[in-house]
Amino acid sequence: MQTEQSEPTSTPFEPMDIARENRSDQLRDALEEMIVSGLMRPGTRVDEQALIQQFGVSRTPMREAIKALVATGLLEVRQRQGVWVSVLSIPKLMEMFDTMAMFEGMCARYAARRATPDEIAQLQDIQKRLEAEIGNADPERFYAINAEFHDALYHASHTEFVVDQTRQLRRRVSMYRKHVTYLPGRMQATLVEHAQIIAAIQAKDPKAAAAAASDHVSLLGDDMIDFIARLPRIMNPDQ
């Protein structure tokens, strides 16, 4: 006797708490910005309860946001000590700067092959804004405009994976990298180096563009020595 077979039952997906997901994503972005901007400095302990009160949220989305930033390396969990803003060793930081220089060079190489006239004009416009800013002695403002220049360069490369990796690494080292801007003569040197990048892109010379962009981001010679000397003040600005 044949038995009637029942149709397999499908298991529905659990409904997502969209509001909670968005809340934890927003908290992650806010905490990341606090770290990148220096409001939460490397080597400081994360006070979860204080952050919960500051943002007016419950513990669950805050812990999800912190967990996400631990996964990126911006935060680290220390055994029996809680969560801390990550501190990069000098060798690791130099390695990350070298990798950053390689990525920037790749973006510039692609931009020399693919940038449109409008994208080159945008780089030139940002360069003019930097030139106008040079006399204001405001490294923070200069650094913000400089970040626009690099974003425009990434856009002009018309790549996806390389740009994603470059932006991710740039944010990872941003807290340290912006202090290079404070080095004597660094802002003036930036203008010269940007001009070399733009000229190579205009000339459609990928090799020259890659070299100019890589050299621009690299820490070499006295710049590296001076930056390392500044590290204690980056970690402890009250010193």
pLDDT for the residue 40: 87
**137 belongs to a structural domain:** yes
Distances in whole angstroms, Cα of residue 57 to Cα of each of 20, 54, 88, 154:
10, 8, 30, 35
**Which residues, including other chains, have CB under 8 Å from residue 73's CB and lie 6 or more apart?**
86, 172
Residue 113 in contact with residue 204, Cβ under 8 Å?
Answer: yes
Indicate if 75 and 135 belong to the same structural domain: no
| Angstrom distance (rounded) from CA 120 to CA 203 | 11
Indicate if 219 and 116 belong to the same structural domain: yes
pLDDT for the residue 19: 53
Indicate if 37 and 74 belong to the same structural domain: yes
| Angstrom distance (rounded) from CA 135 to CA 125 | 17
pLDDT for the residue 123: 98
- Digit-by-digit pLDDT tens for the chain (239 residues) are 454 444 444 444 444 444 555 888 899 989 988 888 778 888 889 999 999 999 999 999 999 999 999 998 889 999 888 999 988 888 888 888 889 999 999 999 999 999 999 999 999 999 999 999 988 878 888 988 999 999 999 999 999 999 999 998 988 888 777 777 777 788 898 999 999 999 999 999 999 999 999 999 886 545 665 666 656 555 555 44
**9 belongs to a structural domain:** no
